[in-house]
């Protein structure tokens, strides 16, 4: 909003600096961070007073009951800070921004509902049922896919909207045509569930998510810039640079949230947060048409989801035994006796490496 205001001022002789994506990204980043820091303490207290507190259970040697009573729905904090900053500094006439806002509100809404149901029933198993959650993700994914593929409505030039870019291969792309609907539904559902499963320790999901957002921001900046995109041989996507500003706002808010969530946490993301992060992450990756690169950057999420799948479907259901010591992955380490803080930091380190690999694809082709 400020963006539009300042652009209007520019007409009558105001500074032109706010026109640039870089300066607005920096401002959005700082605003997001500051917003969360300021709102954080009162919001956490409010959540606690309202009784939005976590129930923790003991699973044998993985006992988190000591964390019982920590406020949940902390995702609300991140969503408010991130969307607030994005609202101030993004170009609100930009279709990319609309889609991201829609995803954020949609998934944060479902997450809120889920958390609220769990609290109302005083039972962490009585939130939204698995089929309902999955249906909500698939419906959004299908809608997004339709938006990408629909000629005339899609904001992408030519075939870009339905193409999957293959990393490490120059100019290689797979055109899915309307298969993009299925891909998009799968991709969104994957991201939402993967982030949800990863969010099992203090700050475990936040930092890897921030890093993937950073990768997306870089790619959006390149794709939205005529010179850079032609220099790095990417398809130019007009107006997509605005995604950078949005990502910067989310990253700022994420760092602000990390302030509170780092071990020992004062607040948990809850499903509000994990659905919000996962949904926006998937949407942003699809909107910048770099799904596979983002998959690489967020390989931690894939490992977590895959470990759960293997354990439950292949192990328990098929072989009637455990395959991994515990699932998801972070619990396997915890089971070995590794302290939570150590696991979290090591996961951050690994995700940083993956993010570096993802950025490597810009040049290595």
Q: Are 263 and 341 in contact (CB under 8 A)?
A: yes
Q: Which two tokens stand for residue 34?
A: 């500051």
Under the binding rule (CB under 8 A), the answer on residue 49 touching another protein is: no
- From the CB of 321, what's the least distance to another protein, in Å? 4
Q: For residues 84 and 81, give the distance between their C-alpha atoms in angstroms, rounded to a whole number.
A: 5
Query: In terms of Cα–Cα distance, which of 35, 38, 147, 156 is closest to 89?
Result: 35
Under the binding rule (CB under 8 A), the answer on residue 177 touching another protein is: no
Q: Which residues pair with 164 in a beta bridge?
A: 174
Under the binding rule (CB under 8 A), the answer on residue 338 touching another protein is: yes
Nearer to another protein, 202 or 291 (CB): 202
Query: Of 73-92, which residues contact another protein (CB under 8 A)?
Result: none
Under the binding rule (CB under 8 A), the answer on residue 340 touching another protein is: yes
CA angle centred on 331, ends 198 and 267, rounded to 5°: 55
Nearer to another protein, 38 or 339 (CB): 339
- From the CB of 299, what's the least distance to another protein, in Å? 23
Phi-psi region of 199 (alpha: psi -120 to 50; beta: other; left: phi over 0): beta
- From the CB of 122, what's the least distance to another protein, in Å? 16
Considering only residues 16, 66, 132, 169, which one is a binding residue for another protein as defined by CB under 8 A? 66
Under the binding rule (CB under 8 A), the answer on residue 342 touching another protein is: yes
The answer for residues whose C-beta is within 8 angstroms of residue 126's C-beta and 6 or more apart is 117, 118
Under the binding rule (CB under 8 A), the answer on residue 135 touching another protein is: no
Q: Are 194 and 298 in contact (CB under 8 A)?
A: yes
Please tell me whether the peptide bond between 264 and the residue prior to it is cis, using omega within 30 degrees of 0: yes
Under the binding rule (CB under 8 A), the answer on residue 226 touching another protein is: no
- From the CB of 60, what's the least distance to another protein, in Å? 11
Q: Which two tokens stand for residue 199?
A: 């969010």
Under the binding rule (CB under 8 A), the answer on residue 336 touching another protein is: yes
Q: Are 275 and 75 in contact (CB under 8 A)?
A: yes
Nearer to another protein, 226 or 319 (CB): 319
Under the binding rule (CB under 8 A), the answer on residue 51 touching another protein is: no
- From the CB of 70, what's the least distance to another protein, in Å? 10
Q: Which residues pair with 58 in a beta bridge?
A: 63
Q: Are 151 and 162 in contact (CB under 8 A)?
A: no
Nearer to another protein, 23 or 341 (CB): 341
Residues in the chain: 365
Under the binding rule (CB under 8 A), the answer on residue 321 touching another protein is: yes
Q: For residues 328 and 215, give the distance between their C-alpha atoms in angstroms, rounded to a whole number.
A: 25
Q: For residues 120 and 38, give the distance between their C-alpha atoms in angstroms, rounded to a whole number.
A: 28
Find where tokens 């997509």 sit: 240
Under the binding rule (CB under 8 A), the answer on residue 238 touching another protein is: no
- From the CB of 126, what's the least distance to another protein, in Å? 15
| Interface stretch with another protein, choices 2-10, 18-26, 155-163, 317-325 (CB under 8 A) | 317-325
Query: Of 240-269, which residues contact another protein (CB under 8 A)?
Result: 264
Under the binding rule (CB under 8 A), the answer on residue 57 touching another protein is: no
Under the binding rule (CB under 8 A), the answer on residue 60 touching another protein is: no
Q: Residues interacting with another protein, by CB under 8 A?
A: 66-69, 264, 316, 319-322, 325, 336-340, 342
């Amino acid at each position: 909003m400020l963006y539009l205001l300042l652009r209007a001022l520019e007409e009558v002789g105001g500074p032109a600096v706010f026109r640039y994506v870089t300066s607005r990204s920096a401002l959005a980043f700082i605003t997001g961070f500051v917003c969360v820091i300021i709102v954080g303490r009162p919001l956490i207290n409010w959540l606690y007073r309202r009784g939005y507190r976590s129930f923790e259970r003991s699973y044998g040697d993985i006992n988190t009951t000591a964390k019982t009573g920590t406020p949940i729905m902390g995702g609300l904090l991140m969503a408010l800070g991130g969307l607030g900053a994005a609202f101030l500094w993004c170009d609100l006439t930009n279709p990319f921004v609309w889609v991201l806002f829609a995803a954020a509100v949609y998934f944060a809404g479902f997450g809120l509902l889920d958390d609220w149901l769990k609290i109302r029933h005083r039972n962490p198993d009585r939130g939204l049922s698995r089929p309902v959650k999955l249906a909500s993700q698939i419906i959004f994914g299908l809608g997004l896919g339709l938006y990408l593929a629909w000629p005339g409505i899609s904001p992408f030039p030519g075939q870009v909207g339905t193409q999957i870019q293959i990393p490490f291969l120059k100019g290689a792309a797979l055109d899915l045509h309307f298969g993009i609907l299925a891909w998009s539904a799968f991709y969104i559902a994957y991201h939402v569930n993967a982030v949800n499963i990863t969010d099992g320790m203090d700050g475990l999901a936040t930092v890897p998510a921030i890093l993937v957002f950073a990768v997306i921001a870089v790619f959006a900046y390149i794709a939205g810039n005529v010179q850079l995109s032609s220099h790095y041989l990417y398809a130019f996507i007009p107006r997509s640079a605005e995604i950078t500003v949005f990502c910067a706002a989310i990253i700022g808010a994420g760092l602000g949230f990390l302030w509170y969530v780092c071990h020992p946490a004062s607040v948990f993301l809850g499903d509000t947060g994990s659905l919000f992060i996962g949904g926006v992450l998937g949407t942003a990756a699809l909107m910048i048409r770099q799904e596979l690169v983002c998959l690489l950057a967020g390989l931690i999420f894939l490992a977590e989801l895959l470990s759960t799948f293997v354990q439950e479907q292949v192990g328990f259901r098929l072989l009637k035994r455990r395959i991994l010591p515990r699932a998801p992955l972070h619990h396997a380490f915890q089971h070995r006796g590794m302290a939570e803080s150590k696991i979290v930091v090591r996961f951050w380190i690994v995700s940083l490496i993956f993010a570096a690999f993802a950025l490597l694809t810009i040049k290595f082709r």
